Amino acid sequence: MPPMNFLDRVSITVENHVAHVLLDRADKMNALDDAMFEAIVAAGHHLHNERGIRAVVLSGAGRS
């Protein structure tokens, strides 16, 4: 699956049945604001509908 971006805050890549969800707001140390929560929820809805996902790894960009 190619990388997907949700509201320019969260990106998803899938490799070997593992979804990697990256919080991508390094300039704000990945602070959780309303837009970030919406992006995380959108990513979760997207992954819920994907067949074959066995695990999800959540990480943050940058040094946070």
pLDDT tens column, 15-63:
999 999 999 999 999 999 999 999 999 999 999 999 999 999 999 999 8
Stated pTM of the model: 0.85
* C-alpha–C-alpha distance, residues 5 and 20, integer Å: 12
Other CB atoms closer than 10 Å to residue 43's CB: what's the count? 24
Tokens representing residue 45 in the block: 């809805």
Fold of 4-60: GMP Synthetase; Chain A, domain 3 (3.30.300)
